[in-house]
Structures are given as C-alpha cells and as structure tokens.
C-alpha cells in the first residue's frame, strides 16, 4: 500500500524529489521504492513503470506505469471507503454537514452529546455544506447527517423519499422590493407576475431552483432579469441603494424578518408574499436529514441516533421559546438571509 501511494505521488509531482517533499520523506527512500517497483514490473510485464528523462526533468510513465497508477488510485480509494464505512458502522466516526445558519442548531445539540462522545472516543467531524449540496452530500456518503434547507412541495416530494427528515420549519416564497405600491400592489402578488417584474436573482441555490420549477430551465429568457447576484447580501444592498428598482425572491421567513425595525437589511424594502398560480406550490423546508433506514439499522446508542435525538431536543427547545436560533444575539439579517444563499449558507 505504501508503494502504491508513493507511485501516485511521483505521478502527481513528476519527480522522486517532489514526491518526497509531499510525503515528508527522504528522496532516497522514495527512489528506492520506485527502483524496486520498476525491477519487479520489468520481470512481471516486460516493461518498467517509470523511465528517467535526465537530470531536472520529470520522469516518463510507461503504459504499464499509467495503468498501475489508475489501479492504485482505485485500490486505495476503495480501501479508504471501506475503512470509513467500518468506522461509521461501529460508531467510531460521525461526519456532519451544516449550512452556516443551521450551525447554531448543531452547536446546541453537540453540547448535549459532547460528554458521551468524549468518554466513548467518538470522533465528530463537522463540515460546511452549501444549501444547494445538502442532499447531494448525503447521496455521495460524504456526510452521515446534514442540517440545512431544501425546496419541497407541501403534498410530498419524491426526492425526499430516500431520506429520513426531521422538519424544523417550513416557509413559503416572498418578494422583497423597493418598487412602490403603484408599481407592485401588496400585500400579496401572484407568482405569474414575476414574468413582468424586474428581478434580482441568485445564480444558483434554492431560489434559482424555485424559478426553474415554475418557469423551466430557460427561465432567464422568460423573465426580466435585472441583475444576477452571487450573494443575497449583495442583492439587499443593491435594492436598498436604489441603484436598481426591482424585486428579489426570498423565503417568507426572511421577508417577515425584514419588517423588524431592528433588522438593517430590510430598511427601505417592502415584503410581498407570492401566491402561487404558475406551477406546483413550493416551500423551503429547514431541518435535519439522513439516509433513509440508516438510523434504524443502528442501535439507540449509536452516535448517529444520539445526535439525531439531541437535534430533536434542541428544536423542541427553540419551539417552546418561539425564537430563531440567532435570537439572544444582535439581530443578524445576513444570518437569516444566508440560510437560503448558495454562496454563504
């Protein structure tokens, strides 16, 4: 296994010296392994793996060498996947993904299980997941549990059938706008009105998914896109500045928060709730997700089940107190907005 790893590093670095630097070893050690593999494969296949090109030049991999590098990558990858799967099954490691906004949920739940995890030497790994990748990370088995938001339908969604879902909150879709009442009457508007309104849209993420569902994959050609943004924060600033007059899709929760005078991002903007008359009714579901059936295959003391239960307790606490996870801190509009922002959440 060590020889295969060395071979891959030489292929990536181009020289034994470069591979030695990556591996933190002596060049002579790396060269000895390469010489041994070259000798063995010359006997086995009639061709060495690597040919020297001269001083200071990258080595040349033969056809046999290229084939073995690909085989080595697959072999080592499968071994690592097998090791991670065993650690996951035995409860030695738990990998959790979270968006920026849902980190507060996870932090509270983590405190509830921290002592038991410490006593049992359970390794908890936490990573940042963008909203658009919440379910994809689970499918790829990059994480065991993820906290975040997805677009779904009230009557159910086939895409969620593959997951266990702990629902924390659902929210509809609204507009934040600097248009006057004469230009856009409120407090509601049909979603079909989006066809004629100047829109500020995110390049990707949940709201882009909403527009894709309602108006098709070529929605940019069907709608009046006044500005395309990378972050929702920039959209708020753009509308507040008055440089552009238009509307931006946000969740109803973010739009409602904009009415709070303490929330800076909503100043000068007006919320208009969308009443769907275009396609399927859509909602943003905030919660925790795992692969369906995985928790049931483990006993109650498995780390995945312990953390799942802790998240449920944490959500119940917030529901009792009727507050956002960010409550108690300075009201942070960007924290609310970014939970639905592909770049920041």
Q: Which domain holds residue 206?
A: 173-281
> Could you report the per-residue pLDDT of 247-288, keeping only the tens digit for each?
998 887 777 776 666 566 667 888 898 888 887 888 888 899
DSSP letter at 131 equals G
Q: Are residues 264 and 298 in the same domain?
A: no
What the block records as the tokens of 68 is 């073995």
Q: Are residues 65 and 29 in the same domain?
A: yes
Half-sphere exposure of 186 (CA within 13 A, CB side): 15
Residue 330 forms part of a structural domain: no
Average pLDDT over residues 91-103: 82
Q: Are residues 66 and 160 in the same domain?
A: no
Among 281, 303, 334, give the residue marking a domain's end: 281
> Could you report the per-residue pLDDT of 108-124, keeping only the tens digit for each?
899 999 999 999 998 89
Q: Is the model's pLDDT at 179 over the cut of 90?
A: yes
DSSP string computed for 85-126: HHHHHHTSEEEEEE-TTTHHHHHHHHHHHHHHHHHTTPEEEE
Q: Specify the CATH number for the domain of residue 46.
A: 1.10.10.10
pLDDT at 104: 79
In this prediction, what percent of the chain has a pLDDT beyond 70?
86
What is the chain's mean pLDDT, rounded?
83
pTM of the model: 0.62
DSSP string computed for 272-316: EEEEP-SSS--EEEEEEEEETTTTTTS-TTSHHHHHHHHHHHHHH
Q: Are residues 75 and 105 in the same domain?
A: no
SS3 call for 331: coil
DSSP alpha helix (H) spans, 140-249:
206-215, 219-222, 232-241
Residue 235 forms part of a structural domain: yes
Average pLDDT over residues 312-335: 58
pLDDT at 340: 33
Residue 327 forms part of a structural domain: no
Residue 116 forms part of a structural domain: yes
Q: Are residues 62 and 202 in the same domain?
A: no
Q: Go through the chain and tell me how many residues it has.
A: 345
**What is the sign, positive or negative, of the torsion defined by CA atoms of 156, 158, 164, 166?**
negative
> Residue 331: which pLDDT band, with cuts at 50, 70 and 90?
very low
pLDDT at 326: 40
Q: Is the model's pLDDT at 338 over the cut of 60?
A: no
pLDDT at 84: 64
Structural domain count, the chain? 3
Q: Which of 184-188, 305-309, 315-319 has the highest mean pLDDT?
A: 305-309
């Amino acid at each position: 296994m060590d020889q295969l790893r060395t071979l891959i590093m030489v292929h990536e670095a181009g020289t034994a010296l470069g591979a030695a630097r990556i591996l933190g070893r002596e060049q002579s050690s790396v060269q000895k392994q390469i010489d041994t593999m070259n000798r063995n494969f010359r006997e086995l296949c009639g061709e060495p793996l690597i040919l020297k090109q001269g001083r200071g030049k990258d080595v040349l991999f033969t056809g046999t060498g290229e084939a073995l590098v690909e085989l080595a990558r697959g072999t080592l990858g499968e071994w690592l996947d097998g090791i991670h799967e065993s650690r996951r099954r035995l409860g030695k490691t738990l990998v959790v993904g979270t968006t920026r906004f849902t980190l507060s949920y996870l932090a509270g739940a983590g405190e509830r299980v921290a002592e038991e995890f410490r006593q049992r030497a359970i390794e908890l790994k936490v990573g940042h997941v963008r909203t658009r990748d919440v379910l994809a990370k689970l499918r790829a088995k990059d994480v065991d549990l993820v906290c975040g938001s997805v677009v779904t339908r009230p009557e159910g969604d086939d895409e969620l059938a593959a997951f266990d879902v702990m629902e924390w909150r659902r929210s509809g879709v609204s507009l934040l706008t600097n248009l006057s009442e004469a230009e856009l009457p409120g407090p509601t508007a049909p979603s079909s009105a989006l066809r004629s309104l100047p829109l500020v849209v995110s390049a990707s993420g949940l709201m882009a998914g909403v527009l894709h569902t309602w108006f098709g994959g070529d929605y940019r050609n069907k709608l009046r896109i006044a500005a395309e943004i990378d972050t929702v924060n920039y959209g708020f600033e753009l509308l507040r500045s008055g440089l552009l007059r238009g509307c931006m899709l946000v969740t109803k929760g973010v739009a409602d928060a904009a009415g709070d005078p303490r929330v800076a991002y909503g100043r000068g903007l007006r919320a208009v709730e969308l009443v769907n008359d275009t396609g399927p009714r859509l909602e943003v579901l905030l919660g925790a997700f795992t692969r369906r059936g995985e928790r049931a295959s483990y006993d109650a003391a498995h780390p995945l089940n312990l953390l799942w239960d802790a998240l449920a307790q944490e959500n119940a606490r917030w529901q009792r107190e009727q507050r956002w996870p960010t409550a108690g801190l300075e009201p942070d509009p960007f924290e609310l907005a970014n939970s639905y922002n592909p770049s920041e959440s």
